[in-house]
Structure formats: structure tokens, C-alpha cells
Amino acid sequence: MTVLLKNVRPYGEDAVDLLVKDGVVAAIGADLSSTAQTIDATGLIALPGLVDLHTHLREPGREDTETVLTGSRAAALGGYTAVHAMANTDPVADTAGVVEQVWRLGQQAGLVDVVPVGAVTVGLGGTQLAELGAMADSAATVRVFSDDGKCVSDPALMRRALEYVKALDGVVAQHAEEPRLTVGAQMHEGDRSARLGLTGWPAVAEEAIIARDVLLAEHVGARLHVCHVSTAGSVELIRWAKSRGVQVTAEVTPHHLLLTDAQAEGYDATFKVNPPLRTAEDVAALRAGLADGTIDAVATDHAPHAGEDKECEWAAARPGMLGLEQALSVVVDTMVDTGLLTWREVADRMSVRPAEIGRLTHQGRPIAVGEPANLVLLDPTARAVVDPAALASKSRNSPYAGRELPARVVHTLLRGELSVLDGKVQK
């Protein structure tokens, strides 16, 4: 497929024409001409296709809430060209067979690169290491391993996991939560949780695991990735570890950049998430950490749930919220429009660094001649009110329902093919 993008602004800079041919950027310049399909991209900003390190696609096992196909559609509409599919499916992605199944479903969908994450332990049970080597050697070539949703809380087992993945050039993506400190937890621990009568999830439960794990990673000389960082103290710990040369990376979710524990006031379980929404001071620290590079990446933690799992009393609801389709808009709202990130830095945090962490060599590449044409084109001037009924996901648990957000993804290209054209998914 050959496409000519007229007057597009790579990284928000000067407008140029950009010719895409045979899956790569074939030419960049002024007044290019071609007999190919021509798209007027005047006013649109081009970034490398986004890469998500943390997506729950629910297939196999909970196809009533999301499938690889519907999740891929949501991702493409959000400007993503690659997503890492978390392992807490049913059956758990803890064998070569299951990760290859997810990988093949992604290939069939053909809208984004679906990159399976392998479980660290068998059945996410936290007692026995899974088939890490077999998953790495499979067709899915797994390099990110995580028990996300659960913490690898046994320090000896975590050390062994780090030793194994080091040999595979992999990374352990840890859900940092000391389970003995969060028994029955429902929301951030503080004055508000006490007043609302909801059991608190203390910041120290996250920070204690991060402190332990960065020391283990340093001892082993392995890579550690911290999932969905949510507290100011966690940011400080990661900053300290990086200053020591520890191979630690970290991600923050869009919802933790925007929302606070005040959302719990109405007992709307849409806002129940793990780790919980924190305080305004934590949000400020997370934004600062993402701006200065302490936090490497934005990752969605896209977590679809059925209506009956959310439209119930807070204590009975499952934690998690949607994120793929509005992630870029939330980052624009919280980080670009506030002057904390440039467009190039957005590309770094949402494409380049996530691809590097996941060892995806054909994603997160610069917009340059000869590079893979994985691109997102967005209109930075657009604003829209989020309507959950219009989402591509099978589920509707969006924390942004009714909220007006800036920027709109107009086109997405995966290896030169339009997966999204004029805001409409092509499959």
C-alpha cells in the first residue's frame, strides 16, 4: 500500500509531505507528488505509533468483556500500533501454548502488534516459576513477564525470576503490592477512606515492594519494570534507584495522572482500581516524575469488565477501568497542555521507551526515511466528550464518561496500512 500524507507535522514541528510505501517511510519533503492514495493531513501531528506495555485483552477466558479483536480495535483507535497483552487470562498465559494462542489471535486481527506477556509463576500462584524459557523461545518471543493483578511477593522467588529473565534479555514487570498490607483494601488509605468507611490501601504497600525489588535487581544485575506507579514515595524510590545505576524502569497510567481518590466520594465503582487513585500530591509527583524521565512510560492498564462486575456496591466490584481509547487525550490534557511534555517527549514516553523496554525492534522508531511506517496522526485542536456507548471495547467501564478531553486520533498506520482512517477502524 502507498499513501501520501500531505502537510503533516511530525512531532508537532514544521509541516511536510510524507510518503509511505511498502510498509516504510519512503520520502519526506515539500510538495511531494504521487499517484498513491493522498490524505490531506493539514494541521495534524504525526508521532510514532503508540506502544502499550500493559493491556488486558481478556482472551482466552472472558470473551464476554473483551477479545483480542475488540481490544485491538480500541487500541488502533487510540493510536496504538503495539500492545502487550497481560497474562491474567483463563487459562493463565504461563505456557508456550497459551502465549502463542494470544499471539496468533493478534496476527489474525491485524490491527496492532499483540505482544503476549508471560506469567512469572504458574497460574499466578506465586509459588512456582512458569515456563519462562519456553515462552521466550515460542513464536510469541515473550520478553516481558508479569503476574500483574498479583505481586510476586516471595523475595526468594522474585530473585530467581530476575535471574532467569536476565538470561533471556527479558524483564519482570512487577505489580508492586505487599499483600499482607492490603487485605480487604478498597481505596487509598487516608482521611477520606476512614470517612467513607472503606478499608484503605496504604502507599507503603507499594513502596515496600519497590524498595525490595530494586535492591534485588541491583544484586542480580537484571532488569525490573514497575507497573502502574501510584505514589509520590514510589517516584522517589525509583529516582534513587536510577541514581545508583539499577536497571529499573517504571510506568504510570493515564488515570493516575488525572484522577484522585476524591472520585470515591460517590461510591461509583467505575473508579475502583488497583492500585487505587491517590491524592492530588501523588498526582503532582507522578506528573513531575514522568516529565523528568524518572517514570519512563505511560501504560494504560486497560481493564475491561462486565456491567455486573461494576454496577454494584463498591466493595463487591472488580478493580480496573478502560484506558486505550483515551490515553493519548489524557496525556495531552495533563502533560502537554500543562507544558510538562513536548510532543517529542510524548513520543518518547508513549512509544520509544515502551518499545525499548519490551524489546520491540520495529516499534517506537523515529519518523525518518527507511523506518517502519507505524504512525499515529492526531488533531491537537479537537475536543470531545467521552461517550462510553461509542467505544470499540466490549466493556463500558470508562472513568472518563462525560468528560471533555482534548485531541483526537484521526489516522493510525501499522506497517504502512491504515488501521484507522478518519477516526474509523478499518477492520
- Catalogue the active-site residues: 301
- The whole-angstrom separation of Cα 294 and Cα 284 is 13
Q: With 0-12 CB in 10 A as exposed, 13-18 as middle and 19+ as buried, what is 191? A: exposed
Dihedral class, residue 226 (left if φ above 0, else alpha if ψ from -120 to 50, else beta): beta
DSSP label at residue 425: E
* Distance, CA of 118 to CA of 5 (rounded, Å): 38
Query: Cα 221 to chain center, whole Å?
Result: 25
Closest CA to 1 of 25, 32, 26, 22: 22
Residue identified by cell 470508562 is: 398
Nearest to 346, CA basis, from 337, 335, 338: 335
Instruction: Tell the residue number behind the cell numbers 518471543, with chain if given.
Output: 141
CA–CA separation, 186 and 85 (whole Å): 25
Rounded CA gap, 346 and 349, in Å?
5
